[in-house]
Structure formats: C-alpha cells, structure tokens
C-alpha cells in the first residue's frame, strides 16, 4: 500500500479503479460492447468452422458424398457469427449522439440513464460474445464428429445434426438475453 | 531415452483439429475400407483363388489387384501391404509435429524387424536381393544402408561396426546402442558378448527399447492420446512378455541362471504386468508356472485358459489376435487423439492376415479351416454378440 505522503489530496486525483471505470465514457462502454459482441461471436464462429472444416475435408477424401450435406455444420457455425452481427446492429442503433452544442454536460443531464445505457450495452455485448464462443466451439466439435460419422454411416447424419442444433441453440440463449439486457438502454440525447 | 520430448502438443477437444484434424479425418475415412461381414462371407464361399480376386474387385483392394497377372496368396499379401504402405505414407506426408514423430514411431518397429531379417538372412547365407524383397516396405532404409547391413560379420565386433558405420544414422540406431551398452555392462566384456546371443534375443531387446521409448513419448503427449495409446502399448508389452516367456521354454534362455540374467532383461518396463507380473515371470520355469502367474491377471487369465485347455485348436496367438482386434477397435470409439493411426495400421495388418489365410485355405482345399480368422469391425465379433444378448 502507498504510504500517507504519496496519497494525492487534490480533487482531480485518481481515487482508484472505481473512478477509472466511472470516468470512462458510457459511449466508450457501449462501443466496446458492440466490439466484444461482434468480435467474440466471430471468434466462436471461426473456431467452429475450422474444427468442422478440417475434419470435413479429410473425411470427404474417402466419402465424397458427405461434402455438400455437411456444409450444414459450417452454416450452423456461421449462424453464430450472424447472432453477433445482429446484436452489433441492435446495439449500434442504440448509441445516439447527444444534441449538445458544447462538450460539457449540463448539471441536469440524465447521468443515471447515461451510465445505465453504457454499462448495459457493454454487458449485453459481452453476454452475446461469450455465449457465442461457447456455442461456436461446441457446434464445431459436433460438426467435426458429424462429418466423420457421416462418412462411415449416412444414417448417423440426421442424429448428430440434432445434437448440433442444440449446440447452436446455446447462441440463441445468449442473443435473447442480450436483447433483453439492452432493451432499457437508451442514451439521453438532451438534458432533462 | 533416445527420443526428444514431442515438439508441440496434440491439442484437446477444442484445438486438436488445428494441426491434426485433416489427417485424423483421413484415417477415419479410410476406416470405411475395411472388409465387411458380407465381404468375408462371400470370400469364404469362393472355390478358387481367382474367385477371391473377383470378390475383392468390389472392395477397396480393386485397384491394388488390377495389374496383377496371377494371384497367389503371396502376391495378394504383397499387393495389400503395398496398398497399406501407400496409405500410410500419404498420412505421413499430411502430418505435422508431433503427429509426424508419432507415425515415425509406428514405422520403427518394422525397421527393427527388417534389420533382424537382414542379419538373420546373412547368417544363413541368403541372397541380399531376395532378402530386401522380403523386407516390410514400412521399415525401409536407404538402398545403400539396406545392402550394407548383412555385410557385417556375426560377432560382437561386427555388430559394433554395424552400429557405428550404418545404424547410427537410422532412427533405430539409439535402440541398438542401448542394446550394445547394456550387454556390455551386463557381461562386463564388450568384445565377446554378442556372439552367443541369438538374433531373436537382439530383436526382443530392440522391440523392448522401442516399446519403452514409444510409451514414454506417448505419455509426454498427454491427453486422450496418452490414455488410449498408452493402453494399447501396455497390452502390446504384456503380449511380448508372455510370448518371450512362452517361447523360452525348452531353450537355453529358460535355464535358471539365464532366466534371471538374460530373460529378465527382455521384459519391457511398461505394461499391465510390469512391475509385479514381470518380476514373477522371471522365476517361471514351465507352462504350469506361467499359468499360475497369469491367473492373477484377469485380462490374461481368459487368454491363458484358451491356450491351456488346448481344445478347439486355437493357439495363444489367435487368442492374442482376437484380443488385439477388440482393443484396437476401441481406439476408434473416441475422437481427437493419435491412437487411431496406430490402430488403423494394426487392424489393416489383421485384415491382410485374414485375406492370406482365406486364400491359402482355398488354395489348399482346407474348407473347414477357412473361418478361423478374426474379422475387423465385424458385427458378429464375440464381444459385440455378448453385449447384444
């Protein structure tokens, strides 16, 4: 811990992490929410696609008939990225520029709503991003097994596809909760 | 141990496919090329070897047999092994570390066998070209290396020269060095040790070092590979230990002094039998005592009972083959590990043994013997039948 002499007494000093976070602009939080929601969803989708894709290509060498059918697994992974894009569009539309002439916020500005919107959109983006990573990876693993199983026995394809649908549903849970989370988030545009 | 730790990791469920997804899916695709129960049924109905060929033309073997003038069991075996080797080399060319080292490990076994075949052939004064033709294509060295192996004399000095000039550059060199070193330490006289050691003992020691090295490598890979492949190697090591003991009966190796000094050194330091079982095996002097030791290990008790009862003329080798097929098939039950590559090679070898057996039986008109083979991935395997009933 810092000793007494090094503690800053001025009003303009940084008083710790709580202040670091509150001093970040809610617009910044909201935009980071968009970035995480989209970015992590796409990480999940890409992860799933290479898990599936490498197995699909390998298994198709001996059983070429599986190649078009198993593109469904790749599409399921892709859907994960689309959830991220949908969420990113919803969140981006909620970020509104304030109608202020100068760069200072007036005293009767709705600070509660302002911070609520920033944190809410950040969390909504993160919820969507993290669930989509989990969803993308699990769809990818199921898709990889699906390609290999289908190459051996075509009747297994539909059965494993159902497993994949459930894995894909994980991403939908994320986006539903994300939308609800961000629903009440509205950036104030003018002072009250 | 000679082999360096694996470069890179196998990866787990979520990362295995980065480097090894394609080769793994390839080998699993190749699994569909195994002959089915229906194929075997048709093959056993054949009257002539040409019928066998006709039946195989529907299978994955068709292109391998296409340009063969007259099919004999020997030429069928050669073509089938060649096909397996082509597939294996394709997999090897697609592999990156650490899978490539893993696949190399699989080939070392054949290299050891080839070196021993060449040395043994040279002892009986056979033609070098004929010997090289007999070598397993998976364990081939460079042509010049192959030709120079049988030129060394069968003495301690000859083997030391063989190691220093030829084998030191090959992957099996370190095993040979370990063997030379151990026999030198053991007897205390490095010059005269090897003369009386039979080729089979050298081979058993080299295989033992290979197994231990491989087991350690697999252990370092970790994950599912370590557990599944580790188990396959353990089973393999136990089979070797039991076979070494069984084959030593009636040979000088079974003399009380040799048992503790020489036979003991041939038991691999891996396996379910190690260390308790292999310590007990040291004192075994005859089949009865061997049976008493194996009685303590449930997984080998059943196999031993097949051998001991002597009925149904199923040899212990057949019992081991059946057990091997059962354990190797299990490697295909889970994904994202390396053991499938080893299992694929071994199961294909079993299939080739089956094909040779069937065509030999047809050639020699031994129809009642024809069904004595172990089909691979058969729906009617005893262990599957048991599960269904």
State the SS3 of A126-148.
HHHHHHHHHHHHHHHHHHHHHHH
Same domain, B256 and B293: yes
A166 touches chain B (CB under 8 A): no
pLDDT at A2 over 60: no
pLDDT at B280 over 90: no
For residue B326, tell me if it sits in a domain. Answer: no
Nearest to B14 among A55, A137, A151 (CB): A137
Q: What is the pTM of this model?
A: 0.89
For residue A80, tell me if it sits in a domain. Answer: yes
Same domain, B299 and B222: yes
Task: Determine the structural domain holding residue B360 and report its residue range.
Answer: 16-94+338-377
For residue B325, tell me if it sits in a domain. Answer: no
Nearest residue to A186 via CA among A96, A101, A111, A76: A96
The 10s digit of each residue's pLDDT in B12-44 is 888 898 899 999 999 999 998 899 999 999 998
Half-sphere exposure of A151 (CA within 13 A, CB side): 26
Q: The domain that contains A56 carries what CATH number?
A: 1.20.120.610
A183 touches chain B (CB under 8 A): no
For residue B154, tell me if it sits in a domain. Answer: yes
Nearest to B28 among A50, A53, A148 (CB): A148
Half-sphere exposure of A165 (CA within 13 A, CB side): 6
For residue B106, tell me if it sits in a domain. Answer: no
Nearest residue to A120 via CA among A170, A172, A177: A177
Domain count, chain A: 1
Same domain, B290 and B255: yes
B28 touches chain A (CB under 8 A): yes
ipTM comes to 0.82
Q: Are A148 and B29 a contacting pair at CB < 8 A? A: yes
The DSSP secondary-structure symbol of B261 reads I
For residue B323, tell me if it sits in a domain. Answer: no
Last residue in a domain, options B258, B293, B309: B309
Domain count, chain B: 3
Nearest residue to B131 via CA among B148, B114, B145: B114
Phi, psi of B383 (to 5 degrees): -70, -20
For residue B317, tell me if it sits in a domain. Answer: no
For residue A133, tell me if it sits in a domain. Answer: yes
Q: Are B29 and A61 a contacting pair at CB < 8 A? A: yes
Same domain, B87 and B163: no
Q: Are B13 and A141 a contacting pair at CB < 8 A? A: yes
In chain A, what is the straight-line distance between the N-terminal and C-terminal CA atoms, in Å?
42
A134 touches chain B (CB under 8 A): no
Last residue in a domain, options B159, B194, B229: B194
For residue A78, tell me if it sits in a domain. Answer: yes
Q: Choosing among B28, B33, B34, which should be mutated to test the A contact, i.e. which has the most A CBs within 10 A?
A: B28
Q: Are A148 and B14 a contacting pair at CB < 8 A? A: no
- A137 contact residues in B (CB cutoff 8 A): 14
How buried is B142 (Cβ within 10 angstroms: 0-12 exposed, 13-18 middle, 19+ buried)?
Answer: exposed
pLDDT confidence of B315, banded at 50, 70, 90?
confident
Task: Determine the structural domain holding residue A161 and report its residue range.
Answer: 27-95+113-184
Q: What is the mean pLDDT of chain B?
A: 85
pLDDT confidence of B194, banded at 50, 70, 90?
very low
Better-predicted residue by pLDDT, A192 or B217? B217
For residue A11, tell me if it sits in a domain. Answer: no
Q: Kindly give, in sequence order, each residue whose CB lies less than 8 Å from that of residue B345, ignoring residues fewer than 6 positions away.
A: B84, B88, B106, B138
Same domain, B189 and B216: no
Nearest to B25 among A50, A58, A137 (CB): A58
Asked if B107 contacts B159 with a C-beta cutoff of 8 angstroms, the reply is: no
Q: Choosing among A45, A59, A74, A160, which should be mutated to test the B contact, i.e. which has the most B CBs within 10 A?
A: A59
How buried is A164 (Cβ within 10 angstroms: 0-12 exposed, 13-18 middle, 19+ buried)?
Answer: buried
Q: What does B322-361 look like in DSSP terms, one character per residue?
A: HHHHHHHHHGGGS-SSSHHHHHHHHHHHHHHHHHHHHHHH
pLDDT at A163 over 80: yes
For residue A156, tell me if it sits in a domain. Answer: yes
For residue A18, tell me if it sits in a domain. Answer: no
For residue B384, tell me if it sits in a domain. Answer: no
Last residue in a domain, options B170, B194, B218: B194
Same domain, B88 and B165: no
Q: The domain that contains B69 carries what CATH number?
A: 1.10.132.50
For residue A2, tell me if it sits in a domain. Answer: no
Q: Are B25 and A47 a contacting pair at CB < 8 A? A: no
pLDDT at B192 over 50: no
Same domain, B224 and B292: yes
Predicted pLDDT of residue B49: 86
């Amino acid at each position: 811990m810092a000793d007494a002499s090094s503690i800053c007494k001025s009003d303009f000093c940084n008083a710790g992490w709580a202040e670091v976070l509150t001093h970040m602009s809610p617009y910044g939080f909201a935009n980071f929410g968009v970035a995480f929601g989209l970015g992590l969803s796409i990480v999940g989708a890409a992860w799933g696609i290479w898990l599936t894709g490498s197995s699909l290509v390998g298994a198709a060498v001996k059983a070429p008939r599986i190649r078009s059918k198993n593109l469904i697994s790749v599409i399921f992974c892709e859907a994960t990225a689309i959830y991220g894009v949908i969420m990113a569009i919803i969140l981006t539309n909620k970020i509104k520029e304030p109608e202020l002439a100068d760069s200072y916020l007036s005293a009767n500005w709705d600070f509660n709503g302002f911070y609520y919107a920033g944190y809410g959109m950040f969390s909504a983006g993160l919820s969507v991003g993290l669930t989509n990573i989990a969803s993308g990876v699990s769809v990818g693993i199921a898709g990889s097994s699906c390609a290999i199983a289908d190459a051996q026995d075509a009747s297994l394809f539909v059965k494993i596809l159902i497993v994949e649908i459930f894995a894909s549903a994980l991403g939908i849970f994320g986006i539903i909760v994300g939308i609800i989370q961000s629903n009440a988030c509205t950036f104030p545009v003018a002072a009250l | 141990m000679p082999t360096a730790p694996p470069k890179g990791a196998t990866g787990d469920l979520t990362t295995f496919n980065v480097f090894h997804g394609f080769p793994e899916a390839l080998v699993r695709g190749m699994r569909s090329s195994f002959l089915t129960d229906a194929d075997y049924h048709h093959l056993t109905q054949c009257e002539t070897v040409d019928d066998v060929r006709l039946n195989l033309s529907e299978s994955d073997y068709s292109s391998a047999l296409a340009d063969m003038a007259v099919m004999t069991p020997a030429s069928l075996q050669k073509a089938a092994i060649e096909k397996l080797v082509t597939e294996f080399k394709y997999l090897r060319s697609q592999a990156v570390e650490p899978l490539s080292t893993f696949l190399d490990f699989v080939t070392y076994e054949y290299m050891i066998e080839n070196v021993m075949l060449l040395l043994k052939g040279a002892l009986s004064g056979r033609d070098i070209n004929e010997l090289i033709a007999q070598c397993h294509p998976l364990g081939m060295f460079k042509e010049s290396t192959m030709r120079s192996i049988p030129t060394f004399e069968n003495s301690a000095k000859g083997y030391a020269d063989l190691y220093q000039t030829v084998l030191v550059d090959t992957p099996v060199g370190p095993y040979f060095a370990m063997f030379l070193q151990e026999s030198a330490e053991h007897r205390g006289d490095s010059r005269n040790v090897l003369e009386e050691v039979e080729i089979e003992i050298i081979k058993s020691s080299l295989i033992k070092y290979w197994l231990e090295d491989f087991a350690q490598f697999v252990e370092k890979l970790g994950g599912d590979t370590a557990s599944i492949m580790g188990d396959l190697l353990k089973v393999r090591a136990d089979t070797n230990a039991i076979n070494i003991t069984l084959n030593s009966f009636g040979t000088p190796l079974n003399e009380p002094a040799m048992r503790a000094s020489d036979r003991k050194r041939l038991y691999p330091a891996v396996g379910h039998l190690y260390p308790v079982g292999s310590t007990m095996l040291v004192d075994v002097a005859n089949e009865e005592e061997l049976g008493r030791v194996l009685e303590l290990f449930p997984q080998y008790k059943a196999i031993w009972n097949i051998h001991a009862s002597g009925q149904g003329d199923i040899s212990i080798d057949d019992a081991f083959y059946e057990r091997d097929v059962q354990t190797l098939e299990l490697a295909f039950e889970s994904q994202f590990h390396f053991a499938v590559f080893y299992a694929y090679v071994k199961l294909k070898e079993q299939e080739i043994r089956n094909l040779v057996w069937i065509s030999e039986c047809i050639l020699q008109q031994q129809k009642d013997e024809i069904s004595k083979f172990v089909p691979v991935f058969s729906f009617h395997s005893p262990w599957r039948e048991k599960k269904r009933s």
